[in-house]
Structure 1
Amino acid sequence: MQRGNAGRSPLLNVILSGDSSMALNIPKMMMRGEPPIFKNRFLNNCVIFKYPNFDVPTNEPGMEGMFDSEMGEQEFYKPVETAIYIPNDHRDLASGGSAIYLRQRDFDALMNEIFGIKVEADLEELYNDIEMLRIIDEVPSLDPYLLRTELSDSGYKMPDTAFQTSEQEDRKIRRRIESKIEPILNRAIQDAGGDSNISAAQKQRFLKVLWNPDLPEAEIFIKSFGIERSQTGAIFTAWKGITFYQIQFEEIAGSLRKVFNYLKGRNLVPLDQRLYSATDIELLNAKVAKLYSRLRDAVDKCRQIFSAYDEAYTCFVEKNDARQFKRFLMSAHQNYWTLGFSIIACKNAFERIRKYTSIDQPMSLRFDTILRMLDEVSIIFGRSDGKQTLDNQLAWT
């Protein structure tokens, strides 16, 4: 008999029911008749997930150097890990399992050992999949739009059903990104001594640079902002990603207001409060206050970054001052990751609470139910016990 959620670890609950930005449940996808993502059959029995197991940097993103622009792409602090949940039984994901991280030492050898690969052809397939996983690890969240864009740009041909987004969503994101960048393009052309009255066809060629920074037209941006050619790809990826997350943040703003109201409301007084001591209730209230604070911190980080983006953008487009925008571009990659962490947490906090009660007309819950819900939402923001005990968190409690 399958065990209920009450006996399952909070982390496993989050992994198996997180939204598409947090978890890529491949067995579930294949049960729906979708083709496998990976070549290795064992890897297709696993769940890929993003796990924020340490805190976001606390730097206040002011306009005078939001983060250290001299920090190399490989050196900076990434607040999200990519992990693989390996179930004991892929037909019953809830029965527990273990997990490994893509960035942990000897990951390739460990994958080979776990899956017991001995045939050369299977080994080649696994290493091809590992390269694909490395690309997935370079994206802060598992949002289908971001994954498909990055994997396609890296030459991977995805099944039509993999990482699907609607045509309408694709157009909306692309139009938003291009509309934001077109005035910058005009200004960059003027700064480079070119004619700003270029044709629509020429403008489209320049805009394609965002999706393919190897095009010759990328030179106009390189000259205008004084960035290194080797940094162009990472900066453009992050720039697009920041705009993508800005759209996401606007879409979830209403839901976040409801979450804050819920965490401040009387509905978190347990139905069975009389069965618990004053100390128990005080500890529960402390958990609620801590969660409220962490959610508020994530929202504030998003607002700070978007405010810095808008201010730098305005300075360049309206005041012809590119200095702030250049500084923003230099920190774009880290801002991209901070936004990925924060927005995954915000979206999934709302979804987890909604699994327990209607967020529009919330009901009072029992003490143990509230505690379980708070533990699950807290995991989304990272836990102090870190990756060393991840296997224990995934096992039955």
Structure 2
Amino acid sequence: MTDRAVRNLEHLRRTASTARVLNLLKVYDEHGDTDDWHERPMFRTPALNTSLIIKHRLRRNETDSFPGRRQVATKVVVPIDSADLKTGGRFVFVNQIGFERAMQEAFGIAADHPDLKTLRLMDQLPSLDPFLLREQLRRGEVDAAPCYFALSEADLERMLTFVQSEIEPLVTLSMGDGVAAVGSTARMASKILSNAPGDRLEALRATLRLEPEQYQEGVFCWKGFLYYKWTLASLMNDIVVVADEVGTVKPVGPSDRAAKEYIDRGRSVLRGRIMKTCEEVSRTLRYYDDAYAGLTRDGKPLAFRDFLLEAPALFARLGDQLGAVQHIVSFWRFRFGPKAPPVGVDELIDIFMDFETGLMGREIDVYDPRDAA
């Protein structure tokens, strides 16, 4: 583990998006006295189970820490003082060169320890959104408690108005128009988004015909679709801007024929794949829209309930696709901001390859024109 201090952890805790940061220290603060937290931990190592897991954009001086090219890494940050995050923390990157040795030295865990498997499962993901993360860990046979899969407070605040508009048809159907309906919409939105254990809305459970033991899962899945709809809507303006800039960005420095051909090809291919991915996400979300319309327009609560309970099968693809697009938008803003230095040919090829790999899915090899040189 490096000695380098990680600053601004307090700022990160307050403002970070769910997709970027998994704040296990906050989970401990809120749920550390519960049976679920103790009996179904995300990590068996106490320090890891109270750490911050961050999807981190690599700086130029950090890329050599890895055996292959990558733009984003999974950073595990252990606060120096958990009571005062302003003191910073110490970190290790998942799958950095010497990762297993670093984990042995820092945490005393061997290469075959289950926590390393969990970290590597996280590293395979484009984001840490709780709906994608839960499905990934389930596939890896990691049975963490529900308290580990919550939206950040910052995202909950940003989502609230969107969720109120989404559920308004259901409230209007139940109560009609009027002041009471407006208040009920706000209350239901807060209940759906609530991370508090046992914060149940009995009227909602009855409307959706959910058994008591199904309520938590059903609302979690509903929250997932609302989160993905909100994420796509909030990204769309930036997606269009980035797709246009991909088509016009000009690298500096010498370039051979193969590199020029790859960059020219990459412009059109990436723009097309970015927009196609967004269209596929929209098409998947329409399954939710149709099921929800069946509830609010056609009065079919059982069909909507069944859809929600079967929904996790869709989260892996939705999370992968939106995570890839979020990464593209976030990294493009970071690398091509107003004060950013010009991009060189090799760096632009790396960026295009990284984006293309993310949009094609995991474990896909992308042609590198420099391999043919």
TM range (shorter): 0.5 to 0.7
Specify the alignment match of 1:303 in structure 2: 282
Pick one of 71, 77, 85 that aligns with 1:14. Answer: 71
Whole-Å separation in 2 of the counterparts to 1:325 and 1:98: 46
Q: 1:356 to 1:281 in 2, by over 3 A?
A: same
User: Is 1:26 aligned to 2:83, yes or no?
Assistant: no
Contact (CA 8 Å) 2:239, 2:329: kept in 1 or not?
A: yes
Cα offset, 1:256, TM superposition: 0.4
Contact 1:353 1:377 in 2 (8 A): no
For residue 142 of structure 1, what is the amino acid of its counterpart?
A: L
- 1:343 and 2:322 are equivalent in the alignment: yes
Question: Which one-letter code corresponds to 1:264 in the other structure?
Answer: G
Is residue 246 from structure 1 mapped to residue 297 from structure 2 by the alignment? Answer: no
Counterpart for residue 163 of structure 2 = 177
In the TM superposition, residue 302 of structure 1 has moved relative to its aligned partner by 2.2
- Give the Cα separation in 1 of the matches to 2:182 and 2:229: 29
Matches of 1:233 and 1:301, distance apart in 2: 28
The answer as to whether partners of 2:192 and 2:223 remain within 8 angstroms in 1 is no
Q: 1:381 to 1:7 in 2, by over 3 A?
A: same
| 1:371, distance to aligned residue in structure 2 (A) | 0.8
- Deviation for aligned residue 1:351: 2.4
How far off its partner does 1:257 sit? 0.4
Give 3-state SS (helix, strand or coil) of 1:142's partner: coil
Pairing 1:99-114 to 2, within 5 Å after superposition: none
Give the AA of the match of 1:308: Y
Please report the TM-score for the alignment, with normalisation by the length of structure 1.
Answer: 0.52
**What letter matches 2:221 in structure 1?**
A
Residues of 2 paired with 1:314 and 1:328: CA distance?
12
Task: Tell whether 2:370 aligns with 1:370.
Answer: no
Quote the Cα distance in structure 2 between the aligned partners of 1:287 and 1:98: 36
Deviation at 1:350, TM superposition (A): 1.8
Please report how far the alpha carbon of residue 261 of structure 1 lies from its aligned counterpart in structure 2 after TM superposition: 0.7
Residue-by-residue CA offset, 1:2-37 (whole Å, 9 max, x unaligned): 984675659665234xxxxxx45516x659962899
Q: Distance in 2 between matches of 1:256 and 1:319?
A: 35
Judged with a 3 Å threshold, the aligned counterparts in structure 2 of structure 1 residues 282 and 46 are, in CA distance, closer, same or farther, namely same
CA drift of 1:345 comes to 1.2
Do the aligned residues in 1 keep the contact of 2:235 with 2:326 (CA within 8 Å)?
A: yes
Residue 46 of structure 1 aligns to a residue in which SS?
Answer: strand
Q: Structure 1's 144 and 234: CA in aligned 2 closer, same or farther, altered over 3 A? A: closer
1:383 Cα deviation from its structure 2 partner? 6.1
Contact preservation (8 Å) 1:173, 1:244:
yes
TM-score by length of 2: 0.54
Contact kept, 8 Å, 1:260 with 1:292, in 2: the verdict is: yes
Cα 1:24–1:367 shift into 2, 3 Å: closer
Alpha-carbon separation, structure 1, partners of 2:225 and 2:116? 26
CA–CA distance in structure 2, aligned partners of residues 263 and 85 of structure 1 = 30
Structure 2 CA distance for aligned equivalents of residues 323 and 297 of structure 1: 32
Residues 380, 117 of structure 1: alpha-carbon distance in 2 compared, 3 angstrom cutoff: same
Conserved? CA contact 2:77–2:92, under 8 Å? yes
* Aligned-pair Cα RMSD in Å: 5.6
Q: Does residue 1:142 correspond to 2:128, yes or no?
A: yes
**CA-to-partner distance for each residue in 1:323-366, whole Å, 9 max, x for gaps?**
663454244323333332222211211222334324x8999743
- Cα pair distance change 1:272/1:172, threshold 3 Å: closer
State the distance in 1 between where 2:364 and 2:169 align.
Answer: 44
